A = this chain, B = another copy of it.
Amino acid sequence: MAKEGADMTEETEYMIGKNVGKETENVESSCDAKEMRAVVLAGFGGLNKLRVTKKAMPEPQDGEVKIRVKACGLNFLDLMVRQGTLDNPPKPPLVPGFECSGIVESVGENTTGFEIGDRVMAFVNYNAWAEVVCTPVDFVYKMPEEMTFAEAAAFSLNFVAAYMMLFEVANLREGMSVLVHSAGGGVGQAVAQLCSTVPNVTVFGVASCFKHAAIRDSVTHLFDRNVDYIQEVKKISPEGVDIVLDCLCGENTAKGLTLLRPLGTYILYGASNMVTGETKSFFSFAKSWWQVEKVNPIKLYEENKVIAGFSLLNLLFKHGKCSLVKSVMDKLLCLYDQKKIKPVVDSLWALEEVKEAMQRIHDRGNIGKLILDVEKSPTPLMASDSTETSEAGEEEEEPEGDNDSKERMPFIH
């Protein structure tokens, strides 16, 4: 999409506390800037593959909108992109990120419906983690007036995915029951809120213990990730549940199917168990893939069960379902206006803090959504860590868990 200089990407990592502030100033002072800051993934692997660099300013093509980005959403999918486990990723170096919010800076030819200055949220097929992005008009939606940019960046993927799974794939209705893994995550919280818009829906949530206090009110029953949730659910609802939403894959698939009531729907919408802490990610992934229990259709027939897969990214960027997504977004914005739903933001991070943000989502430390706030300055490194800077970036085999030495305090929303 970039008009020029795409290959001129400067690999200058913006060092924390050095020239970041100045650069931000420069970019913001001029819309005619030829460059912008972006998070770049240099190759598939660990956190050390990420850095903030200058890239050529993109310009909108036919049917595209150019957006001055204010906030970007960070998803578990981005970890899969980084490790190279997502299906058919583009070749690195690449700018990750699938969603953002911001202000329309210009529009390409044959682009109607948006004007310069419009506050928008958008899906982007990569490239969202930057100061400026261009994306086809079909993936851009106007923000409600009272919505903040952080909320908007937390809204699109999570709520659209949750809505489509509950109402397009599974047909949630009054009196049904739903089990959601990662109940504290962005999708989990969106699922809980959307379930509360239907009368008498029981939500069973699974989440790490330390999140329970924060999210207890959002679900009907909450279980610790480390207990046998199958048994716990069956104690409360012996006949099982109507909908299982699983973003983990692996052995949870078979468990999830066991829990389904007749005519129930199991939906796999992620495979976060395939993201490991090791850099030998491809092999871990391949191993996990083959370990996933395959399903015999005749068993589904005998048990009257439904199994579905749901990938919003593929739906948008491969399967051409943007008009369906648009209609879903319209319904969601109605619910937002009626104050029935509201995105939960976990924390805001500067672009330069993307590694720490990724570590937090990897460790499942978040409650709600992690946001990259493009205008935010990085929190200064803590004193004890100031001697270490970016050298870890040169290590080829940096395990995820070894990154603590550079940890900053996130801005908890």
Instruction: Say yes or no: B295 contacts A297, CB within 8 Å.
Output: yes
Residues of B contacting A314 in the complex (Cβ-Cβ under 8 angstroms)? 262, 302-304
Taking the closest CB of chain B, its distance from the CB of A62, in whole angstroms, is 24
With most chain B CB atoms within 10 A of its CB, the pick from A171, A249, A296 is A296
A169 to B308, CA, bound (A): 12
Whether A115 sits at the interface, judged by CB under 8 Å, is: no
Taking the closest CB of chain B, its distance from the CB of A327, in whole angstroms, is 12
Closest residue of B by beta carbon distance from A290: B296
A87 to B302, CA, bound (A): 8
Whether A1 sits at the interface, judged by CB under 8 Å, is: no
Whether A269 sits at the interface, judged by CB under 8 Å, is: yes
Residues of B contacting A301 in the complex (Cβ-Cβ under 8 angstroms)? 249, 268-271, 309-311
Instruction: Say yes or no: A304 contacts B319, CB within 8 Å.
Output: yes
Whether A339 sits at the interface, judged by CB under 8 Å, is: no
Whether A168 sits at the interface, judged by CB under 8 Å, is: yes
**A residues contacting the other copy or chain, number (CB 8 A):** 41
Contact among B300, B303, B315 with A304 in the assembled complex (CB-CB below 8 Å): B315
Taking the closest CB of chain B, its distance from the CB of A177, in whole angstroms, is 15
Instruction: Say yes or no: A304 contacts B298, CB within 8 Å.
Output: no
Contact among B265, B304, B315 with A263 in the assembled complex (CB-CB below 8 Å): B315
Instruction: Say yes or no: A262 contacts B307, CB within 8 Å.
Output: no
Instruction: Say yes or no: B305 contacts A308, CB within 8 Å.
Output: yes
Instruction: Say yes or no: A297 contacts B306, CB within 8 Å.
Output: no
Instruction: Say yes or no: B262 contacts A315, CB within 8 Å.
Output: yes
Taking the closest CB of chain B, its distance from the CB of A256, in whole angstroms, is 9
